[in-house]
A and B are shown apart, each in its own frame.
Chain A
Amino acid sequence: MSWLFDFWRSSIGGKVTMAVTGVLLFGFVVAHLLGNLQLLAGPDAINAYAKWLHDRGALLWVARGGLLVVFLLHVATAVRLSRANKQARPVPYASEATVQATFASRSMVFSGLTLLVFVVYHLLHFTFGVTNPGDFARKGNGAGGFDVHAMVTHSFSVPAIAVVYAAAQIVLFLHLRHGLRSFAQTLGLCHRRYTPIVERLATVLAALIAAGNAFLALSVLAGIVKVAQ
């Protein structure tokens, strides 16, 4: 397997790793949003969905393990590449200029690290229940599962939490906007007809994901979703 490690360690191998893991993470983010949109359909829908997920048993753990590996690979490769990039320019320019690089592309390391912090917080909050206000996460919902609806609506009725979640979406938007374009170029798609389409699609998809997540985070404060009794 040393050939695979050699591939990962090469410049282009590292970029391909970023692209493949990045697009898998994008796939997860899409599925995550589609699942969570069921919050709008009321307590029974989202709780039944949560129970269905939990009932997958071993399969759920395989998916979680895979996701963790993909995430860690994405972060580890990002760290390796950005350190090499820093070392490649030992003396900075006294006069810095940018001709056509986008803001999103220049802030990938910042947006990535911010997402890392956010993901850790998000897991502590909803998955491990460490930063939960109250103990509703532990309460049954009658069907033998957690009352996800209560947990989420109580959390998002706290303005600070809702705002942090919504603000993180701006960062996610920036990361995905460049990430999705970058993904196509890294895997070799650069074409006068298709690249402009990919670039527009990247912006639209990134915006839809971010807006969808932000909408859910703010839905309780906006009175669209009622807090569970």
Chain B
Amino acid sequence: MKVTLHIWRQSKKSTKADFAQDGKMVAYELEHVSADMSFLEMLDVLNEQLTKKGEDPVAFDHDCREGVCGSCGVVIDGVPHGPERGTTTCQLHMRSFRDGASIYVEPWRAAAFPVLKDLVVDRSAFDRVVQSGAFVSVNTGAPQDANAIPVPKADADRAFDAATCIGCGACVAACKNASAMLFVGAKVSHFLHLPQGRVEREQRARRLVAAMDAEGFGNCTNQYECEAVCPKEIPVRVIAEMNREFVRSKLVEEPPSTKRVGGDG
């Protein structure tokens, strides 16, 4: 098959003052594309041709190419990871497009994800959010016996729904407000349903939300575009859970003080 690609080309890193830099959409015609190629293999073919012509190949992120690492991800015709539900870009195949199609390929668009080059964005904002509290900080010593802490099946399933997040950032890219609430909600939900995670639930909710806000993501308006594009189909339930956890953590929070609140001394 034959396709016309419109790809965002940007040679310099985005800055706050100049986000788009020299970036622009550039058209490329590509022939002899096999319907069985993955989307990234198709880009590989394009890059081979560009390299042969002495042009700069299109930079894009990828690693496992089997849908588990979360490195890949571009916005295809306005939809992160393209037209198939529950699929990463690396697992998308050219048979999902018509012969002769015009395909728009753009990087994740968010102030919190500066473009490094072409389709590659810097997602370290996610790392900083995770470092702020998406972990269990109890020192457990030697590994526990696997069944020492019983977890009901329903709870384990809920936690696992959230734990399937591969941190690709499609939720942010899809959100009309570039909000990261599906990602951060997944971190909250992941630990909320497990006894090990419950211990630190208040501080986790507060820290994760504070870290998320500090990165300059937008605010969810409950449009659920994130859920529609998430390659792991994480439900927006995790956002409701995060809202609940955050409000709860704020309600029970007490100001640090040595003064006694009640009593007679």
Contacts and interface: CB of A to CB of B under 8 A. Distances in A.
Interface of A: 3, 7, 10-16, 81, 84-85, 87-102, 105-106, 108, 178, 181-182, 185-191
Nearest to B218: A88
Contacts of A16: 243, 247
6 contacts: A12-B247, A13-B246, A85-B218, A90-B19, A91-B109, A189-B240
Contact of A93 (B109, B177, B210, B239): B109
A81 B217 CA distance: 11
B137 to A, nearest CB: 23
Closest CB pairs A-B (n = 5): A97-B78, A88-B218, A188-B244, A190-B240, A85-B177
Given A12-B246, A87-B218, A185-B239, 11 more contacts: A13-B246, A15-B220, A15-B243, A85-B179, A85-B218, A95-B75, A96-B78, A100-B224, A100-B225, A189-B240, A190-B239
Given A95-B106, A96-B78, A97-B77, A187 B216 contact: no
Given A10-B213, A93-B75, A102-B223, A88 B110 contact: yes
Nearest to A90: B19
Contact of B111 (A88, A93, A105, A106): A88
B186 interface: no
A187 B242 CA distance: 10
B223 A87 contact: no
A93 B106 contact: yes
Given A85-B179, A90-B111, A97-B78, A185 B217 contact: no
Contact of A11 (B106, B109, B111, B219): B219
Contacts of A108: 221
Nearest to A98: B225
A96 B20 CA distance: 17
A24 B229 CA distance: 33
Contacts of B212: 11
A185 B174 CA distance: 19
B209 A10 contact: yes
Contacts of B19: 90-91
A97 B79 contact: yes
Contacts of B209: 10-12
B241 interface: yes
Interface of B: 6, 8, 19-20, 23, 25, 75, 77-79, 104, 106, 109-112, 174, 176-179, 181, 209-210, 212-213, 216-225, 227-229, 235-237, 239-244, 246-247, 250, 253, 255
A58 to B, nearest CB: 32
> Which residue, A11, A81, A105, has most C-beta atoms of chain B within 10 A?
A11
A11 B23 CA distance: 30
A189 B209 CA distance: 19
Nearest to B173: A93
Contacts of B104: 94-95
A137 B237 CA distance: 51
B222 A105 contact: yes
A88 B225 CA distance: 16
Contacts of A178: 222
A88 B112 contact: yes
A217 B216 CA distance: 44
Contacts of A90: 19-20, 109, 111
B219 A85 contact: yes
Contact of B176 (A10, A13, A84, A106): A106
A95 B78 contact: yes
A15 B219 contact: yes
Nearest to A16: B247
B111 A94 contact: no
> Which residue, B104, B209, B212, B218, has most C-beta atoms of chain A within 10 A?
B218
A94 B222 contact: no
A15 to B, nearest CB: 6
Contacts of B239: 185, 190
Nearest to B216: A88
A105 B221 contact: yes
Contacts of A11: 179, 181, 209, 212-213, 217, 219-220
